[in-house]
Amino acid sequence: MTVHFPFQNTYAALPANFFARVAPTPVTSPRLIKLNRPLALQLGLDPDLLETPEGAEILAGKRLPDGADPIAMAYAGHQFGHFVPQLGDGRAILLGEVVDADGVRRDIQLKGSGPTPFSRRGDGRAALGPVLREYIVSEAMATLGIPTTRSLAAVLTGESVLRETALPGAVLTRVASSHIRVGTFQYFAARRDTEGVRQLADHVIARHYPELADHERPYLALLGAVIARQADLVARWLLVGFIHGVMNTDNSSISGETIDYGPCAFMDHYDPKQVFSSIDEMGRYAYANQPRIAQWNMTRLAECLLPLISDDPDKAVAEAQAAIGEFVEVFDTAYQAGLRRKLGLFSARDDDRILAQDLLDAMARNQADFTLTFRRLSDAALGPDYDGGVRQLFADPAAYDEWAARWRQRLGGEPEDSKQDSRARRTAMRAVNPAFIPRNHRVEAVIEAAVNRDDFVPFENLLAVLSKPYEDQPAFSAYAEPPEPHERVLQTFCGT
């Protein structure tokens, strides 16, 4: 049988200036590393056929499936605050769209599939390491419950790519609600193509925000809806200690999904100024800066939509500013609610913000591990006899003791209708405080084994652990531990 993709393509039906038609560049001898079988089934694909040699050729870009309409999407973007009027998919090709089992339209894209008209002298290829990193982290984000692009497959190409040295080449098959970015709107706005902005906005409303189609002010409502999703998304990042690393406007998805896992990382010990990306020399995209940058990106989107919001420029600016101003409240509401859940609080009080911040401050001063502190705090909800696991994470355990006394006083003050027994509270906390994240040293160990020894067992093991992040998994308890000093990863790198 032949591999069949039930494509129903809509973006490729937009005007020709939205993209460039280009086919993937064939590779010599593709070899399937990993197929995400549950995701394949969700997309209406046959995983058994995708695991055949023909399937590997499709997933590597050597063979096009029937119905594919391959394109490289055009977009612009602010990169570290500097505007570039033309970027576009320089090493990614959108094969087409399918409607999944839930009725959601999803893009299927090959990343690392060869040069496009937007490659800017690049080779259009991807090395194995960044492909594995994106596969691991994007799938971990999905199991953590954070909106994200997904990874359908990783394939070795049988060819080398040159970076600082020769590395194994690979292709990632990425799945997204769409690959439309803030930078996509910027591409048309920079050319003063108001009709292009309008066509793109109408497409986005139809695809991602259909409830706005009959809105009296659809484009202003669109801006507000995208802002709300971005604010909620970044709050979710902070609640698991995630640092994107390159929050450029071309890496800001209109659908509200996390996209483009380059030099991303999860924190070990808590540090609000933490930066891992080797190219973020000024700390623009540090952990605690992410909400501010997301709002900045939304301001850039608002600038693009101004001509659609109102014919009166002053009115358009005022209404856009009001929408942008809502970002802080939406983010703060989501973030504070998330912190209360992490602390086992089932009701809200004004001073909960101080209680949570004081814990974070103590963690920062004592280099306490972010993930383990909250996970072990879940056990501490059973009572003071269970404090030992958390205390040992603090350089000065007395700092935890002082805070824990206030925390327990707060728990004792919960309203009667919000009170739960300690075991129920522990269960609720464990459901939002993961035991396992893709720790940087584990990801690097996976990449080293795959690149240097063609050994993918560590990759499979890490994926298996991360598929159940909220379960204890005693056999894999070492995966929950932070790195030893010699294992620490201080920098992560962009795939290009």
**What residues act catalytically?**
250
User: In degrees to the nearest 10, what's the CA dihedral of 347, 348, 354, 355?
Assistant: 0
Alpha carbon 482 to its chain's center: 22
Structure tokens at 34: 């990993």
For every residue of 172-218, DSSP letters joined together read EEEEES---BHHHHHHHHHTT-HHHHHHHHHHHHHHH-GGGTT-SSH
Euclidean distance between the first and the last CA atom of the chain, given in angstroms as a whole number: 37
3-state secondary structure at position 259: coil
118, 15 Cβ separation under 8 angstroms: no
Q: What residues are paired with 31 via a beta bridge?
A: 156
3-state secondary structure at position 42: helix
Q: How far apart are CA 227 and CA 330, in angstroms?
A: 9
Is the Cα torsion angle 91, 97, 99, 105 positive or negative in sign? positive
Q: How far apart are CA 246 and CA 264, in angstroms?
A: 8
Structure tokens at 262: 């380059």
Of 91, 123, 129, the residue nearest 110 (C-alpha): 91
Structure tokens at 352: 């909960």
Of 257, 115, 121, the residue nearest 181 (C-alpha): 257
Residue that has been written with the tokens 């584990």 in this structure: 442
Q: What residues are paired with 402 via a beta bridge?
A: none
**Phi, psi for 106 (deg, rounded to 5):** -130, 135
Residue that has been written with the tokens 């896992």 in this structure: 261
